[in-house]
Homo-oligomer: A and B are copies of this chain.
């Protein structure tokens, strides 16, 4: 009897999910991929006996030049995988430096995920696998054995936009049990992103936990709103249901977001223990979020002491004729005259927005508006934005 019960429990393990996910049991291939070796080389494997060709592509491979409407741009490289006599395709990378990498498989021309690796992230409408090579900068991206902050998905009322909206909020370790008040970083995503982008692709919670634990950053609240004003939440999380995310939702860069940003600040300051003054408010964003950062911070020119423009888009669209984009130079000057602690601009040397950023810096130079500038390698990529976040946050408050 006992033996039978024990057998049943073993079978319970095997048959935990009978119809829905019985599939889950039998589908997952019993091979290891990716396998990270001691020397930080990585082997990718895929069981696909009937495939004619399998490649791996990802940002761990050297980039290649690709034609585009912008001329040649960088694209992730591809490597051929080799099939063994059991139908398992394999590729072993050279030693890789510490980083959070992404990859996909290309099977007979069809790009898809690695069924042996459940760790995936969504970037706009595409899902790729990820892995981490430990050490160096990548230590910030891991969950280490440090105290952890809380990540909440919450909804706030935006009277200006006439809807409840979803927002992601990181509160630092100890927030719930202390009576302390905290400074706030408002952290904005790029085009095609939403309130999930920074916490997922940006590893914000891990970065903040690690920086705070190491004494490199002050404990702070990080607020990650949704910059697409036609959405109440990320695709799949809101009242619009499941639909394919697009790069540019309507009304993302027409001033509506900037003009209603105070709804977010009001919500945060009424609902969290924060120090509600300029010297304890920072705002930063990547690409479109850098655009929003630039415009929000000068439109409310005495609100933030710290600005971070990561690979920022900077120029308004020609159809953006609303009040937010009038008198840009005048409001920048007011912002400068009001004073601030840090206006931080970072961009990669091969970013397609490099020229636009250079022109913007020239404008600031002409105005004698102070800023700090970091020029990195690489282009318009998440790898850079994670690095910029780890560089920016220690300078705050």
**A residues lining the B interface (CB < 8 Å):** 2-3, 5-6, 8-9, 11-28, 32, 46-52, 57, 59, 63, 66, 68-70, 73-76, 102, 104, 107-113, 115-120, 122-128, 130-132, 142-145, 147-148, 150-155, 164, 166, 176-177, 190-192, 233, 235-239, 241-242, 244-245, 247-248, 253, 271, 287-288, 313, 315-319, 350-353, 356, 378-383
Q: Are B109 and A118 in contact (CB under 8 A)?
A: no
Chain B residues with Cβ under 8 A from A143's Cβ? 233, 237-239, 241
Q: Are B16 and A104 in contact (CB under 8 A)?
A: no
Known interface pairs A19-B76, A150-B153; 15 further A-B residue pairs with C-beta atoms within 8 A, sorted by A's residue number: A2-B318, A5-B318, A9-B253, A11-B352, A12-B353, A14-B68, A15-B352, A16-B124, A17-B123, A17-B192, A21-B124, A21-B382, A22-B75, A23-B76, A143-B238
Q: Does A116 contact B244, Cβ atoms closer than 8 Å?
A: yes
On chain B, the residues within 8 Å of A20 by CB distance are 59, 76, 102, 123, 381-383
Contact of A74 among B19, B123, B144 (CB under 8 A): B19
Indicate how many identical chains form the complex. Answer: 2
User: Chain B residue with minimal CB distance to A113?
Assistant: B113
Q: Which residues in B have their C-beta under 8 angstroms from that of A233?
A: 143
Flag if B318 contacts A15 (CB, 8 Å).
no
Give which listed residue, B15, B52, B271, contacts A50 with CB less than 8 A: B52
The distance in angstroms between the C-alpha atoms of A223 and B23, with both chains bound, is 28
Chain B residues with CB below 8 A from A66, complex form:
22
Please, how many angstroms separate the alpha-carbon atoms of A75 and B27 in the complex? 12
10 contacts between A and B (CB under 8 A): A8-B315, A11-B69, A12-B287, A12-B288, A16-B124, A16-B287, A18-B350, A19-B75, A26-B75, A120-B127
Residues of B within 8 A of A353 (CB): 8, 12
Contact A313 B382 (CB under 8 A): no
Partner of A27, one of B50, B104, B288: B104
Residues of B within 8 A of A356 (CB): 8
**Given the complex, which residues of B lie within 8 Å of A17, measured CB to CB?**
123-124, 192, 380-382
**In the complex, which residue of chain B has the Cβ closest to the Cβ of A238?**
B143
Q: Are B245 and A118 in contact (CB under 8 A)?
A: yes
User: What's the minimum C-beta distance from A23 to chain B, rounded to whole angstroms?
Assistant: 5
Chain B's closest residue to A313 (CB) is: B12
Chain B residues with CB below 8 A from A352, complex form: 11-12, 15, 18
Docked Cα-Cα span, A153 to B196, in Å, equals 14
**Which of A46, A59, A148, A351 has the most chain B CB atoms inside 10 A of its CB?**
A148
List B contacts of A235 (CB < 8 A).
Answer: 118-119
Please tell me if the beta carbons of B3 and A318 are within 8 angstroms of each other in the complex.
Answer: yes
